[in-house]
Amino acid sequence: MTGVYPGSFDPFTLGHKDIVERALKFCNTLYIAVSDNINKKHLFSKEERVEMIRQTFKGNDKIIVESFQGLLVDYMLAKKASFIIRGLRAVSDFEYEFQMAFTNRNLESSIETIFMVPGSQYLFLSSTIVRDIARNNGDISKLVPKPVLEKFKKIY
């Protein structure tokens, strides 16, 4: 089965990585679909985010990292994907994700959404928190994969 893990991933964190690694237990191919969120000002370009994630999973042929734009359901149909992977950290994430799951199902009834909770050590972790810590010269080495850390070192 083929799944899609969509997000802006600005930056990709160890919480995201945890979700990917566990999602691989039940899919043959996982697309990590990087998009721009028009409601956010991104620190890294879409191309930079794609490249950092590719480096994180270098050598794993079950993972394909691409950028996309437009409707997620259209991307999924083009990839012949069956399900969307979404991470939930807290109850506050659920309302938005629940709404999006029903919207996607309404647009394309064949697509399911699977909600996954990251490991407890990552429940607090978000891309926003990582950016804030890095901007203030904090240590993010235990929060992001090595390729992301290296990219941050070039900025800060």
Please report, in tens digits, the pLDDT of each residue of the chain (156 residues total): 999 999 999 999 999 999 999 999 999 999 999 999 888 889 999 999 999 999 999 999 999 999 999 999 999 999 999 999 999 988 778 999 999 999 999 999 999 999 999 999 999 999 999 999 999 999 999 999 999 999 999 988
What range defines the domain where residue 136 resides? 2-155
CATH number at residue 53: 3.40.50.620
Domains of the chain: total: 1
Whether the full predicted model's pTM is greater than 0.85, yes or no, is yes
Residues noted as catalytic: 16, 40, 89, 127
Q: With b meaning 16 or more CB within 10 Å and e meaning fewer, what string describes 90-106?
A: eeeeeeeeeeebeebee
- Residue 114: is it exposed, middle or buried by C-beta count within 10 angstroms (0-12/13-18/19+)? middle
